[in-house]
Structure 1
Amino acid sequence: MMIEVIREGIEYKCVNRGHEMTLLKTSFGWEMYTSNASVWAWRTSGASFFYTLSEVEARYKSWQGIKALTELSREANH
């Protein structure tokens, strides 16, 4: 399990135990899209919305460190 940078500061991906999760930066915060068997079976969007990355880290253990990762990439680009 590892967080993969798709588009720095905008899009990240993590695959963990059959769950493929994509985190996108929006104008309102962050959107998490999950693709797994439950989403397919129930035909739901698999979307969750968060105002901060701290909320993402609190909800998903596999996303621990995403806040630090985005801060590092932001500092490197300035």
Structure 2
Amino acid sequence: YYEGTYEDAVGTYMFFDKENNPVVEDPVFDTAPKLRYVTKTRKLLKMRRIFVKPRLEVLGDSNHPGCIPNMETIKKAGVPPIHQKE
């Protein structure tokens, strides 16, 4: 799983793919293109990998009254610190 945000990019980001069979109309004067345009975007994704914790670790076990919630884990389950500054 991943979490993150997106931002507006400065300029436009264009994505290209390698061309397997380039087509040349005039073999004398044209050079074969090695890349093929795929798409473009104006958004920049800032993602990081996260690991899901079992619910039992966060909230405790409702079947066993002696199992209390782990408050430190509950605090960590909120908004990540890197996103709190915005």
TM-score of the pair, normalised by structure 2: 0.22
TM-score between the two structures when normalised by the length of structure 1: 0.23
Considering only CA atoms, is the larger Rg found in Structure 1 or Structure 2?
A: 2
Kindly indicate whether structure 1 or structure 2 has the higher relative contact order, using CA contacts under 8 Å at least 6 residues apart.
Answer: 2
